[in-house]
Structure formats: structure tokens, C-alpha cells
Amino acid sequence: MEKLKNKRIAILVADGFEEIELTSPKEALENAGAKTDIISPAEGKVRAKSGDEWSNDYPVDVVLQEAEENQYDGLLLPGGVINPDKLRTNKTAIALINAFWERDKPIAAICHGPQLLINADLVRDKKITSVEAIQIDLINAGALWEDSEVVVDDKLITSRTPEDLPAFNKAIIKAFAATEKNKA
């Protein structure tokens, strides 16, 4: 399966991301032929959580300050409680997310990941799903929240929880496959 051959996908995380929400999509994207880069404000490595417990460290491929949207075909925002809370007040992270949106590149977010879309002001009048814990936050920001395993609205792909990863992974592969290289 080479649907994503020659595609490069950015994965934006900070310490405290939900491990399976990075590893499962990353593996699915790479199995479909994509190259993935973990981007983080942290240098060297970033630490995952598995539920309430700290888990493994993952190497950072690109430090956030050096990340450029024009090097990528799409953006993945894993969830976890701590990760999006750290990133949503990081001006560089929000600017990167907005750069993907302005270039009409797909942005995929799962679980608590859509919190970043709120701060990037991308949810108003968009169909979105998420973990139930941030449903009200999304609605208050103008999102049209729905309880579905995957919701695709324009270039936004959102999903609720790790249980939805099989459907989420299929949806993001489809969305990322449809992008044009270095779309300006």
C-alpha cells in the first residue's frame, strides 16, 4: 500500500501526549508510504503518557521553532490531557497549525487534540468530534460538535478516543493522499 508515497506528515506534540494516539496513526501513515516527523517544542525527546501513567520517550525529529509547513503535506495532532494544554498557548505551535490551514492542507486531531484547533480559531461552524471532556469547549468556540468515531469537515479530520483509531487512521490516510505536494 503506497497511497502516501512521497508524502511527508508532521506530528505536533509536547510532553504528555497519549502514546497510542501518536504510535497508531504514525504506523498507519508509514505503512501507507508516508514519511513522518515528530515536531515538538522539546529538544531531543518527548515523553508519552499511557492513560494516567508516564510511558516511553520518542525522538524529536524537528524542533518546533525550526518547523516549516511548506515541508509537509498534512498535520497530525495527537491528544492526551497535558499535550494540547501545553501547545495551545504556544504561539509558534498555533502559527504552525494556522499555516497548514492557510495552505489548505489537512489537519487531523484526535481526543483532546481539537483543543489546539480552538486556539487556532479553526472550529467555528465546522463539524468536529472529540473526547467528551472538551465537547462544551468546542461548542462554546462555535463548533458543530457530534458524537461520531470520525468527522471530516473540509480539511479537518477529528476523532474521539483510541477506540476510534482504526477509522481515524483510514480517514487520515485518505485525506493526506488527496493533498498536492507543496501546495501554495
Q: Which residues are catalytic?
A: 111
**Residue 165 vs residues 6, 32, 137, 172, 173: alpha-carbon distances, Å:** 23, 15, 22, 10, 12
State whether the Cα torsion 137-78-76-162 is positive or negative: negative
Please state, in angstroms and rounded to a whole number, the distance separating the CA atoms of residues 47 and 56: 6
Listed in order, strand segments (DSSP E) in 22-159 are 35-40, 45-50, 53-59, 62-63, 74-77, 107-110, 127-128, 144-145, 150-153, 156-159
Please state, in angstroms and rounded to a whole number, the distance separating the CA atoms of residues 76 and 21: 10
